[in-house]
Amino acid sequence: MTSHPHVVVLDYGSGNLRSAERAVARTGASVVVTADYHAALEADGLVVPGVGAFESCMQGLRSVKGDELIGRRLAGNRPVLGICVGMQILFDRGLEHGRGTQGCGEWPGSVERLHADVLPHMGWNTVDVADGSALFAGVEQERFYFVHTYAARSWDLEVHEPFKKPAVHWTTHESDRFVSAVENGPLWATQFHPEKSGDAGARLLANWVGTLQM
Protein backbone atom coordinates (compact mmCIF):
# COMPACT_ATOMS: atom_id res chain seq x y z
CA MET A 1 0.00 0.00 0.00
CA THR A 2 1.18 3.55 -0.71
CA SER A 3 2.32 5.93 2.00
CA HIS A 4 -0.76 8.07 1.30
CA PRO A 5 -3.86 5.91 1.79
CA HIS A 6 -6.99 6.84 -0.11
CA VAL A 7 -10.06 7.63 2.02
CA VAL A 8 -13.64 8.23 0.91
CA VAL A 9 -16.00 10.31 3.05
CA LEU A 10 -19.41 8.94 2.12
CA ASP A 11 -21.85 11.59 0.91
CA TYR A 12 -25.38 10.40 1.61
CA GLY A 13 -26.91 13.75 2.51
CA SER A 14 -25.91 13.81 6.17
CA GLY A 15 -22.87 14.81 8.17
CA ASN A 16 -20.19 17.45 8.39
CA LEU A 17 -18.72 16.34 5.10
CA ARG A 18 -16.22 19.12 4.47
CA SER A 19 -15.09 19.23 8.09
CA ALA A 20 -14.49 15.50 8.00
CA GLU A 21 -12.72 15.78 4.65
CA ARG A 22 -10.36 18.49 5.91
CA ALA A 23 -9.66 16.71 9.20
CA VAL A 24 -8.78 13.40 7.52
CA ALA A 25 -6.72 15.16 4.84
CA ARG A 26 -4.58 16.75 7.56
CA THR A 27 -3.37 13.24 8.46
CA GLY A 28 -1.72 13.00 5.05
CA ALA A 29 -4.38 10.80 3.47
CA SER A 30 -5.83 11.43 0.04
CA VAL A 31 -9.53 12.20 0.64
CA VAL A 32 -12.58 12.37 -1.64
CA VAL A 33 -16.18 13.16 -0.70
CA THR A 34 -18.48 11.10 -2.90
CA ALA A 35 -21.60 8.96 -3.06
CA ASP A 36 -20.05 6.76 -5.74
CA TYR A 37 -20.53 3.14 -4.64
CA HIS A 38 -17.52 1.63 -6.38
CA ALA A 39 -15.14 4.42 -5.34
CA ALA A 40 -16.23 3.93 -1.73
CA LEU A 41 -15.96 0.16 -1.99
CA GLU A 42 -12.40 0.26 -3.32
CA ALA A 43 -11.00 2.99 -1.04
CA ASP A 44 -8.43 2.07 1.59
CA GLY A 45 -10.71 3.57 4.25
CA LEU A 46 -14.35 4.69 4.38
CA VAL A 47 -15.64 7.42 6.72
CA VAL A 48 -19.38 7.42 7.41
CA PRO A 49 -20.35 10.71 9.09
CA GLY A 50 -23.85 11.59 10.26
CA VAL A 51 -25.87 14.29 11.98
CA GLY A 52 -29.56 14.66 12.78
CA ALA A 53 -32.18 11.95 13.14
CA PHE A 54 -31.45 8.22 12.92
CA GLU A 55 -34.40 7.63 10.56
CA SER A 56 -33.43 10.31 8.05
CA CYS A 57 -29.80 9.17 8.09
CA MET A 58 -30.85 5.61 7.33
CA GLN A 59 -33.06 6.82 4.47
CA GLY A 60 -30.15 8.73 3.00
CA LEU A 61 -27.76 5.85 3.52
CA ARG A 62 -30.06 3.37 1.79
CA SER A 63 -30.55 5.79 -1.11
CA VAL A 64 -26.88 5.36 -2.04
CA LYS A 65 -26.77 1.67 -0.98
CA GLY A 66 -24.53 2.67 1.91
CA ASP A 67 -25.82 -0.09 4.17
CA GLU A 68 -24.86 -2.69 1.55
CA LEU A 69 -21.56 -0.90 0.98
CA ILE A 70 -20.61 -1.06 4.67
CA GLY A 71 -21.46 -4.75 4.80
CA ARG A 72 -19.41 -5.56 1.71
CA ARG A 73 -16.40 -3.65 2.96
CA LEU A 74 -16.49 -5.37 6.33
CA ALA A 75 -16.87 -8.78 4.68
CA GLY A 76 -13.61 -8.03 2.88
CA ASN A 77 -11.92 -6.75 6.07
CA ARG A 78 -11.78 -3.23 4.65
CA PRO A 79 -11.79 -0.44 7.29
CA VAL A 80 -14.84 1.71 8.06
CA LEU A 81 -15.02 4.61 10.53
CA GLY A 82 -18.45 5.81 11.69
CA ILE A 83 -18.85 9.25 13.31
CA CYS A 84 -21.76 10.42 15.51
CA VAL A 85 -25.00 9.23 13.85
CA GLY A 86 -22.67 7.40 11.48
CA MET A 87 -21.87 5.27 14.52
CA GLN A 88 -25.46 4.97 15.69
CA ILE A 89 -26.74 3.53 12.40
CA LEU A 90 -24.34 0.59 12.79
CA PHE A 91 -26.60 -0.83 15.52
CA ASP A 92 -29.75 -2.91 14.95
CA ARG A 93 -32.20 -0.07 15.43
CA GLY A 94 -32.81 3.48 16.56
CA LEU A 95 -35.67 4.52 18.82
CA GLU A 96 -36.73 8.15 18.44
CA HIS A 97 -40.02 9.79 19.47
CA GLY A 98 -41.67 6.41 19.96
CA ARG A 99 -40.68 5.22 16.50
CA GLY A 100 -38.26 2.42 15.72
CA THR A 101 -36.03 2.46 12.64
CA GLN A 102 -33.96 -0.47 11.42
CA GLY A 103 -30.24 0.24 11.30
CA CYS A 104 -27.42 -1.53 9.49
CA GLY A 105 -27.33 -4.33 12.06
CA GLU A 106 -23.57 -4.64 12.25
CA TRP A 107 -23.89 -4.56 16.05
CA PRO A 108 -26.83 -5.76 18.17
CA GLY A 109 -28.72 -3.33 20.33
CA SER A 110 -30.65 -0.10 20.22
CA VAL A 111 -29.82 3.59 20.08
CA GLU A 112 -32.12 5.48 22.43
CA ARG A 113 -32.55 8.78 24.22
CA LEU A 114 -30.07 9.44 27.01
CA HIS A 115 -31.38 9.50 30.58
CA ALA A 116 -30.36 13.04 31.50
CA ASP A 117 -31.99 16.32 32.48
CA VAL A 118 -29.85 18.41 30.14
CA LEU A 119 -30.01 17.37 26.48
CA PRO A 120 -28.46 17.42 24.02
CA HIS A 121 -25.21 16.30 25.57
CA MET A 122 -23.14 19.06 23.98
CA GLY A 123 -19.55 20.02 24.64
CA TRP A 124 -16.30 18.47 25.78
CA ASN A 125 -16.17 15.25 27.76
CA THR A 126 -13.72 12.52 28.64
CA VAL A 127 -13.78 8.89 27.53
CA ASP A 128 -13.23 5.82 29.70
CA VAL A 129 -10.77 4.17 27.33
CA ALA A 130 -10.41 0.40 27.29
CA ASP A 131 -6.93 -1.03 27.79
CA GLY A 132 -4.76 -1.47 24.72
CA SER A 133 -6.71 0.87 22.47
CA ALA A 134 -5.17 1.62 19.08
CA LEU A 135 -7.73 4.33 18.32
CA PHE A 136 -6.97 6.35 21.47
CA ALA A 137 -3.21 5.74 21.55
CA GLY A 138 -1.61 8.92 22.88
CA VAL A 139 -4.92 10.63 23.71
CA GLU A 140 -6.30 8.34 26.41
CA GLN A 141 -6.74 11.22 28.88
CA GLU A 142 -7.99 13.87 26.46
CA ARG A 143 -11.44 15.41 26.02
CA PHE A 144 -13.52 15.12 22.86
CA TYR A 145 -16.44 17.11 21.47
CA PHE A 146 -19.95 15.63 21.67
CA VAL A 147 -23.30 16.84 20.26
CA HIS A 148 -26.09 14.27 20.65
CA THR A 149 -29.27 13.31 22.46
CA TYR A 150 -29.30 9.60 21.58
CA ALA A 151 -26.70 6.87 22.04
CA ALA A 152 -26.21 3.15 22.59
CA ARG A 153 -26.58 2.72 26.34
CA SER A 154 -25.50 -0.93 26.38
CA TRP A 155 -23.14 -3.23 24.51
CA ASP A 156 -24.59 -6.61 23.62
CA LEU A 157 -22.14 -8.19 21.17
CA GLU A 158 -20.60 -11.39 22.50
CA VAL A 159 -17.34 -12.47 20.89
CA HIS A 160 -15.66 -15.80 21.61
CA GLU A 161 -12.24 -17.25 20.88
CA PRO A 162 -10.49 -17.29 18.47
CA PHE A 163 -12.01 -13.92 17.53
CA LYS A 164 -10.68 -10.77 19.17
CA LYS A 165 -12.95 -9.08 21.67
CA PRO A 166 -13.94 -5.53 20.60
CA ALA A 167 -12.53 -2.58 22.52
CA VAL A 168 -15.58 -0.69 23.82
CA HIS A 169 -15.14 2.79 25.30
CA TRP A 170 -17.65 4.62 27.48
CA THR A 171 -18.59 8.17 28.46
CA THR A 172 -20.87 9.42 31.25
CA HIS A 173 -23.25 12.38 30.90
CA GLU A 174 -24.87 13.31 34.20
CA SER A 175 -25.58 9.85 35.64
CA ASP A 176 -26.07 8.04 32.32
CA ARG A 177 -23.36 5.95 30.69
CA PHE A 178 -23.20 5.29 26.95
CA VAL A 179 -20.92 3.77 24.33
CA SER A 180 -18.73 6.57 23.01
CA ALA A 181 -16.41 4.57 20.73
CA VAL A 182 -15.79 1.02 19.51
CA GLU A 183 -12.91 -0.81 17.85
CA ASN A 184 -14.25 -4.03 16.35
CA GLY A 185 -11.97 -5.54 13.70
CA PRO A 186 -12.13 -3.30 10.61
CA LEU A 187 -15.16 -1.42 12.01
CA TRP A 188 -14.36 1.53 14.27
CA ALA A 189 -16.72 4.30 15.35
CA THR A 190 -17.02 7.31 17.64
CA GLN A 191 -20.11 8.96 19.10
CA PHE A 192 -18.14 12.21 19.43
CA HIS A 193 -16.82 14.34 16.58
CA PRO A 194 -13.06 13.89 16.14
CA GLU A 195 -13.13 16.49 13.36
CA LYS A 196 -14.28 19.06 15.95
CA SER A 197 -12.02 17.85 18.77
CA GLY A 198 -8.86 19.84 18.12
CA ASP A 199 -5.45 18.22 18.50
CA ALA A 200 -6.88 15.18 20.30
CA GLY A 201 -9.30 14.49 17.46
CA ALA A 202 -6.54 15.00 14.90
CA ARG A 203 -4.37 12.43 16.68
CA LEU A 204 -7.26 9.98 16.87
CA LEU A 205 -7.94 10.29 13.12
CA ALA A 206 -4.23 9.86 12.44
CA ASN A 207 -4.32 6.65 14.49
CA TRP A 208 -7.14 5.35 12.30
CA VAL A 209 -5.46 6.39 9.04
CA GLY A 210 -2.27 4.74 10.27
CA THR A 211 -4.04 1.38 10.32
CA LEU A 212 -4.84 1.77 6.62
CA GLN A 213 -1.15 1.50 5.83
CA MET A 214 -0.68 -1.85 7.56
Give the residue numbers marked as catalytic: 84, 193, 195
Show the 3-state SS of 154-185.
CCCCCCCCCCCCCEEEEEEECCEEEEEEEEEC
Helix and strand numbers (H, E) in the chain are: 6, 13
Strand, coil or helix: what is 82?
strand
Q: How far apart are alpha carbons 203 and 138 in whole angstroms?
A: 8
Describe the chain by its helix, strand, coil percentages, rounded to 5.
Answer: 25, 35, 40
Q: How far apart are alpha carbons 45 and 39 in whole angstroms?
A: 11
